[in-house]
Amino acid sequence: MHLATYLGLLHGSLRTLADAFREVASGHGDEPDVRLTCHTLANRIDRQAEKLAPVVERYGEHREAEPERLHAAGLDSARGGGVGLLRDLQDLYALTSFTDITWTVVGQAAQGLRDTELIQVVHACEQDTARQLAWLKTRIKQSAPQALIVG
């Protein structure tokens, strides 16, 4: 069964994602809404990882040995300026999308296994991930014209 591999992947990507949100928060401290929201979302991603932990334990987490194939690369450091902010938010969007689809994959398996606990975890976390994507999209749409035209 490859579910354990996927749970490992998901668990790892949540950590990467939380770190990336924190990196953007501290790198864009002059954008208070970005800083605050990224922190709030990072904390909630930690909570997702906590919720997942008992399931991971149950199935036995399996870490993928080939990071370049299945692991999402994180964000090394935040970029500066208006365009830098835009790029960083886009990177967060890509990372979050990866987590989002991974939740979907895990959720499908949970349905197949009739694992009620996992189904509930997936349901709650998918909504939270949708919220992350929605915020990123809102903020990107707001920033794009200014950054690209007069930035």
> Among residues 60 and 81, whose Cβ is nearest to another protein?
81
> Among residues 2 and 131, whose Cβ is nearest to another protein?
131
Does residue number 107 form part of the binding site for another protein (CB under 8 A)?
no
Q: Number of residues in contact with another protein, rule: CB under 8 A?
A: 23
- Among 26, 33, 73, 94, which residue interacts with another protein (rule: CB under 8 A)? 33
Judged by CB under 8 A, the chain residues 35 through 74 that form the site for another protein are 36-37, 40-41
Shortest separation between residue 118's beta carbon and another protein, angstroms:
20
Region of 81 please: left (phi>0), alpha (psi -120 to 50) or beta: left
Shortest separation between residue 131's beta carbon and another protein, angstroms:
6
Q: What are phi and psi of 87, to 5 degrees?
A: -65, -45
Shortest separation between residue 70's beta carbon and another protein, angstroms:
28
Cα distance between residue 115 and residue 68, in whole Å: 30
The answer to whether 57 and 48 are in contact (CB under 8 A) is no
Shortest separation between residue 105's beta carbon and another protein, angstroms:
23
User: What are the residues whose beta carbons fall under 8 Å from the beta carbon of 98, sequence distance 6 or more?
Assistant: 13, 72
Does residue number 103 form part of the binding site for another protein (CB under 8 A)?
no
- Alpha helix locations (H) across the chain? 3-27, 32-59, 67-70, 81-113, 116-145
User: What are the residues whose beta carbons fall under 8 Å from the beta carbon of 60, sequence distance 6 or more?
Assistant: 4
**Which residues are at the interface with another protein (CB under 8 A)?**
30-33, 36-37, 40-41, 81-82, 131, 134-135, 137-138, 141-142, 144-146, 149-151
